[in-house]
């Protein structure tokens, strides 16, 4: 079984940087800070409910989980349907 990364002190600063609007994101591959914050809020709520140790989670603000902040909408300039064409033996396939 893996370790609970929320209780490892060496990760505390990284967790804060993932949601703090004034901090630079530690990794380019993470989502928007609002999405990360909602994910961490959900983790905190779950750990509180299950009586798990919170580790770094007390620094996560006590806010209500808002699923609408997780909704990702595509840019307006992308058409709804883009045909997928795969070439196999020089024969296009849709």
* pLDDT over 70 (residue 4): yes
Q: Are 60 and 44 in contact (CB under 8 A)?
A: yes
Q: Is the pLDDT of residue 1 over 90?
A: no
- At residue 48, the pLDDT reads 92
pLDDT per residue as tens digits for the range 48-75? 999 988 888 888 888 888 877 766 666 6
Domain range list for the chain? 1-73
Q: Is the confidence at residue 22, as pLDDT, over 60?
A: yes
What one-character DSSP code corresponds to residue 43?
H
Nearest to 17 by CA among 75, 65, 56: 56
The 8-class DSSP code of residue 18 comes to H
- Mean of per-residue pLDDT scores for the chain: 75
| pLDDT greater than 70 at residue 36 | yes
Distance between CA 5 and CA 10 in Å, rounded?
9
């Amino acid at each position: 079984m893996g370790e609970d990364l929320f209780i490892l002190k060496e990760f505390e600063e990284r967790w804060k940087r993932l949601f703090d609007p004034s901090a630079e994101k530690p990794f380019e591959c993470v989502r928007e800070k609002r999405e990360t914050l909602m994910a961490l809020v959900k983790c905190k709520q779950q750990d509180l409910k299950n009586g798990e140790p919170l580790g770094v989670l007390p620094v996560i603000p006590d806010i209500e989980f808002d699923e609408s902040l997780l909704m990702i909408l595509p840019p307006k300039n992308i058409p709804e349907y883009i045909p997928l064409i795969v070439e196999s033996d020089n024969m296009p396939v849709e």
